Amino acid sequence: PWRTAAVTRSLRTVFRPVPQGLPGNDDLGGLSGWYVWNALGLSPVTPGAPFYVIGSPMFEKASVGGLTIEAPRVSDSNQYVQSARLGGRPLGRAWLFDSEWRRGRTLVLNMGSKAGAPWGTSSKSVPPSVTGSSLASFGCAPARPAPQPPAPHAATARDGRHFRQSPMRVRAERHHH
């Protein structure tokens, strides 16, 4: 987690409050959205995957949805999460499920200057894999297939008369000799 925090903090420097302050094409708000999430100290991993990794917030206190994020000692030098609590309980992993932060909880991040802190690095702290699991394993409902248009059953003769056409049915049988 501390390496991610260092990289994402350095990426924030490419966004500046000038007319050309957004790097590249803003992608219809995609890059701006990334910046907002990153400034909060969270990042959606994959669109549609209902979990977020915890990074390095810019603010001592911020709220989004039902989640309040508190990082009382955050600064340019105290940019690394040393430990975390969610809803008053210790949180040993560097990610949250969508359902966890929408319940009106507080995420408290104990920030410090020590890079390489062991928080969030145990084998049990690894975020879910979106390539090795289906989104259904995260509680996501599968997308419904798009409705198909009904098969055409009306036809027009060459002389302009309309008539109803029955769908063709095929039946195959095997004959034994």
pLDDT in tens, 46-92: 777 788 889 899 999 999 888 999 999 999 899 899 999 999 999 99
Percentage of the chain lying above the pLDDT 70 cut: 56
The residue type found at 14 is: V
Beta-sheet strands, E only, within 40-166: 42-44, 51-54, 61-64, 67-70, 80-86, 89-90, 95-97, 106-112, 154-156, 162-164
Bridge partners (DSSP) of residue 108 are 70, 85
CA–CA gap between residue 127 and residue 69 (Å, rounded): 20
- Greater confidence, 62 or 36? 62
Instruction: Express as a percent the part of the chain with pLDDT over 90.
Output: 23
The answer to whether the beta carbons of residues 139 and 98 sit under 8 Å apart is no
Pairing of strands 67-70, 106-112: parallel
Q: Which range is most confident: 23-27, 128-132, 136-140, 151-155?
A: 128-132
Are the C-beta atoms of residues 138 and 49 closer than 8 Å to each other? yes
- The per-residue pLDDT for 92 is 94
pLDDT at residue 61, as a whole number:
95
Whether 174 shows a pLDDT value over 90: the answer reads: no
What's the confidence (pLDDT) of residue 4? 65
Does residue 169 register a pLDDT over 50?
no
Q: Which of 4-8, 94-98, 164-168 has the lowest mean pLDDT?
A: 164-168
Question: Rounded mean pLDDT of the chain?
Answer: 75
Instruction: Report pLDDT for 170.
Output: 37
**Long-range CB contacts for residues 13-16, cutoff 8 Å, separation at least 24:** none
pTM above 0.85, yes or no: no
